[in-house]
A and B are shown apart, each in its own frame.
Chain A
Amino acid sequence: MSVRLKNPHHEPDQADNTGGDKPLLFRAWRSWYILVIAELALIILLLAWITGVFH
């Protein structure tokens, strides 16, 4: 995402120090993103299967 600020100096200088940016359970956020997308794919396949089988 390209984000441009009119006045970049308006940003607080301090970084977020209230717990960091580390995900729970996995070592990288990418794993969480893949999990969410994989679950979505699985649900779509499951619903498509239900649509076909129970028709």
Chain B
Amino acid sequence: MRALDWIVLIAFLAFIALYGLWRGRHSNTASNYLLAGRSLRWYTVLFSIMATQASAITFLSTPGQAYADGMRFIQFYLGLPLAMVVLSITVVPLFHRLKVYTAYEYLEQRFDGRVRTLAAALFLIQRGLAAGLTIYAPALIFATILGWDIFWMNLVFGGVVVFYTASGGTRAVSHTQTVQVLIIFTGMAVACAMLLNLLPAQVSLLDATRLAGKLGKLESIDPSFNLHSRYTLWSGLIGGFFLQLSYFGTDQSQVQRYLTGKSVAHSRMGLLFNGLLKIPMQISILFLGVLVFVFYQFTAPPIFFNAGQVAAIRHAPQAAAYADLEQQYAALHEEKQAAIGGLLTAMRRGDAAGEACAGSGLMQTNSQMQAVRESAIDLLADRHPGMDRKDTNYVFLTFLVHYLPVGLLGLVIAAIVAAAMGSTAAELNALAATTTVDFYRRFRRRQPRAAAAGSAKGGGNDSAGAQASAAEERHTVRFSRAATLFWGLFAVLFADYASRLGSLIEAVNILGSLFYGTILGIFLTAFYMPRVNGRAVFRAALLAELLVLACFLWSDISFLWYNLVGCLAVMGLGWLQSVNLHDE
């Protein structure tokens, strides 16, 4: 990064901090601070929803995934539009009608206080750890490629986010997310334009697309019903639907975004536009990765994109062997240029036989290159056992750093940082809201409702009651700010700790899956099983959690299945208990 890139990045950080401070300057009541006074228009709700879901990893990892595995990852999002429609019909009017601050408040009205406390506590554990990882994951990639210090990155990026989130609350978060989404779109457009510009002059966009298709990178839809394949049309439509339903319907970091809508219509419009725009946005990001792949067909790529691992082996005993593999890799890359030229010529002429011949030659050389690359990764793994053999997270940033001109690199890095900040701010905001509303206000000796009730009893002119209510509001805002600071500090410290965990980070992801299914099960029981009462669902949730823990400790099923096990166990056990209670 040059001076101009740093100026762009620092100017962006300063602007976001000041803009958030200014936008949130009137957040002096609980409703204003936690839900932006329920006053936001649909497009602000939309941008806020999009910025919350899209973290920095979305923009760093997704192009790399397309580079390695093509566009098939798009199937993961196919259930999202359907989930948006279902939530618009069911959850949005319900939460608006009940005027809740958090999703978990609804559980007390539907069941009882214990179920609400259980679901809110599970959310705090899961999202608290996730907030740390949202800061840490991009910091690790920046540290590897750009050589930045992880501790200072966590502190600066985390500090800016905590500053405007704590001072301005939800209003600051939602308005800064709008700016952040615009910067993200600008950054991605710049990266796309630069990629097209960097392709050889004789290669058009159509040529690049055809070449990518020939090499299998445009295979987007797999209609087979294969349970062992992670991304198929059906796993995306069915599995993705339930995943997005639980994320947008029960996770406070998303629920809080659409509760800020000024009416049911504005919240619905935000969600429905997200359903319209999310898949085209992901297609664009994946296509960016496909273009990076095409670019590296003409320009020699590094044999392994994780520069940190490569730098370490240069001073190790395996250095000579690794350099030899690099030479073989570069020679094969040169060799395949003739095949690429032949393939493009045949495609332009419509010469099917020439296309097949050149295509098979190209595929053969690419297979040889892949074999050399695997040998190189084996050498890296010999030196550092347990290292991550995948380098997809580093592909896009490596390209940006090496080929973007000065100034534009700063802009695209700012876009990635914007994505990290937007999702972290929403997480901290939701954690603070849940801590305040679902724990502090409920368990505090002098309840806010008591003050409000005192005011109501004395009539609208009771100034003492009104003053008490205003003081209570100010106190709630102060506590929410303190809660934001606490969770911000927790996230930054956990992010710093995570840098020393190494491969144990996956264990933290597993920890999240231990709770998500149980929360979803509680909400689905609340919505669709009217006979199940609070006592039954509370017991069912505890038993389901034990069952999930048993799966974790004594079975070898993949941790992604814990979500389904927890959800079905809550619903099934809740139903069984309700049947027993009715019989009794």
- Would A36 and B272 count as touching, CB distance under 8 A? yes
Question: Total number of A-B contacts with CB less than 8 angstroms?
Answer: 120
**0 or 1 for each of B259-271: is its CB under 8 Å from A? (1 = yes):** 0001111101100
Chain B contacts with A in 177-231, Cβ cutoff 8 A: 209-210, 212-214, 216, 218-221, 223
- Whose C-beta in chain A lies nearest to the C-beta of B90? A1
Query: Does chain A have a CB within 8 A of B514?
Result: no
Within the complex, what minimum Cβ distance (angstroms) separates B432 from chain A? 24
Query: How far is B89's CA from A35's CA once the two chains are assembled, in angstroms?
Result: 15
Residue count of chain A within 8 Å CB distance of chain B: 35
Residue contact B220 to A37, C-beta cutoff 8 Å: no
In whole Å, how far is A43's beta carbon from the nearest beta carbon of chain B?
Answer: 6
Contact in complex: A48, B262 (CB < 8 Å): no
A35 CB contacts on chain B under 8 angstroms = 276
Given contacts A39-B81, A54-B212, contact A3 B110 (CB under 8 A): yes
Q: Which of A9-43 contact B (CB under 8 A)?
A: 10-12, 16, 18-24, 29, 32-33, 35-37, 39-40, 43
User: Is there an interface contact between A33 and B263, defined as CB atoms closer than 8 Å?
Assistant: no
CB distance from A44 to the nearest CB of B (A): 7
Q: Does B275 contact A (CB under 8 A)?
A: yes
Q: Is B99 an interface residue (CB 8 A)?
A: yes
Whether the pair A53, B527 counts as a contact (CB closer than 8 A) is no
Given A33-B88, A33-B89: A47 touches B74 (CB 8 Å cut-off): yes
Q: Which residue of A lies closest to B274 (CB)?
A: A36
The answer to whether B94 touches A21, judged by C-beta atoms less than 8 angstroms apart, is no
Q: Would A40 and B81 be within 8 Å (CB), given that A4-B110, A4-B530, A6-B112 are in contact?
A: yes
Report B-chain residues with C-beta under 8 Å of the C-beta of A40.
78, 81-82, 275, 279
| Residue pair B269, A24 in contact (C-beta under 8 Å) | yes
Q: Does B446 contact A (CB under 8 A)?
A: no
Chain B residues near A4 (CB, 8 Å)?
Answer: 110, 530
B213 lies within 8 A of A20 (CB): no
Distance in angstroms from A30 CB to nearest chain B CB is: 10
Kindly state the separation between the CA atoms of A1 and B78 in the bound complex, as whole angstroms.
23
Give the docked Cα–Cα distance between A47 and B42 (Å): 29
Which residues of A have CB within 8 Å of B503? none
Chain B nearest CB: distance from A2 CB in Å? Answer: 5
Nearest-CB distance from B205 to chain A (Å)?
13
Inter-subunit contact A50/B265 (CB<8 Å): no
Shortest C-beta distance, B219 to chain A (Å), equals: 5
- What's the Cα separation between A23 and B273 when bound, in Å? 12
Contact B269 A23 (CB under 8 A): yes
Residues of A within 8 A of B526 (CB): 3
- Can you name 26 A-B pairs with beta carbons within 8 Å? A1-B90, A1-B527, A3-B94, A3-B110, A3-B530, A6-B534, A7-B109, A10-B98, A11-B98, A18-B39, A19-B263, A20-B264, A20-B265, A23-B269, A24-B42, A32-B268, A33-B85, A33-B88, A37-B85, A39-B81, A39-B276, A40-B82, A40-B275, A47-B220, A48-B223, A55-B216
- Having A7-B109, A23-B268, one finds 18 other A-B pairs with CB under 8 Å, namely A1-B89, A2-B527, A2-B528, A5-B109, A5-B110, A10-B109, A11-B97, A16-B96, A20-B263, A20-B265, A24-B269, A33-B272, A36-B81, A40-B82, A48-B220, A48-B223, A51-B219, A54-B218
A positions within 8 Å CB-CB of B: 1-7, 10-12, 16, 18-24, 29, 32-33, 35-37, 39-40, 43-44, 47-48, 50-51, 53-55
